[in-house]
Structure 1
Amino acid sequence: MNSTVMDTIVSRRSIRKYTEEPVTDGEITTILEAGRAAPSGLNNQPWRFLVVRAGDVRQQRLAEKTKYAHIVEQAPLCLCVFLDKSTMYNRTKDCQSIGACLQNMLLAAHDLGLGAVWLGEIINQEPEVTKALGLDEEALELMAVLAVGHPATKGSSSRQPLSDLLLEPFTTTPTEAS
């Protein structure tokens, strides 16, 4: 196993406070490329991205549509991830693919030394958010917004023990069929 990948996965945390330092074009491209590399059913790649930088009028429109306005307003960057309805072939699989896309983007941001948080609550106001951003709510459905920036604080989190998450114990030694 590539321990670098596992280290990135295990050490990533949601970061909700950022410095004023901007996220560079190169960093944005790296994060978007990581999202683009996610798996999707039939390779339909149903995700579409909107980059909203600090100071963009759309940043305030996003903030007005979420109870986490304070995060959106002070983030140097918000990455909006949409489902392109014209590419959809199975809603569940396409939403799962976008989840993989978002996770890739979060891991890439962390690997770059940036902090990010997945804002999912904002989809409670979908399709009004899409419309407020000046996009076609018939063609696109907002799946999440990632707030991204240079961390002003460290994140923290705890995880349940694996044994509490297993529906039944598993054996680590394969048994041979008789």
Structure 2
Amino acid sequence: MMPNKTIYVSDADAPLFERAQDLAGGSLSAAIVQALRRYVASEELAESGEIVIKVGANGAYRQQRFTGRQVGKFYVPMPDGARASTYHVYVTNKGNFAVYVKELPNWAKMARRNWSDPANWEQYRNGWWTPTSRLEVYPTLAELEAHIPAELFAAVKAIVADSPDGIEDLDI
């Protein structure tokens, strides 16, 4: 049995409802459902937010845009100490996991170098200061795991498991 809903329409809005019913092939219910689907999709999109990132290397970058919400961020120095990676993990509106990885100079490590010794200069030739960045997309949490640091994965997994929308509700 289909549930019934009563909708009160002002006299001023009656022509709009009649036109919607005509456009929907005579079914006002179909017109309302279609409008509600668009409304819900629009509001969910607005809640998520637009993310714009810059990807590329060696000075050739392009911007990419998607909608979603950030659920984690992690900073990892490279073993040589000269560079570091920053991982940003997002859940997209389609439920995928987007990982934005940016590799850049580890300025804190370089501040401690003895720059009067030319041996310390050699590894910093050829554009070492140029950041590189990429976007990786994984359809599941299981596929994401192998591509980000373990500490970040544990945090993202906990956030997604506890609250699919990424927001923790506090009863305070």
Which of the pair is proportionally richer in strand? Answer: 2
Larger relative helix fraction:
1
Q: TM-score range by the shorter chain?
A: under 0.3
Per the normalisation by structure 2, the TM-score is: 0.26
Relative contact order, higher structure (CA 8 A, sep 6+): 1
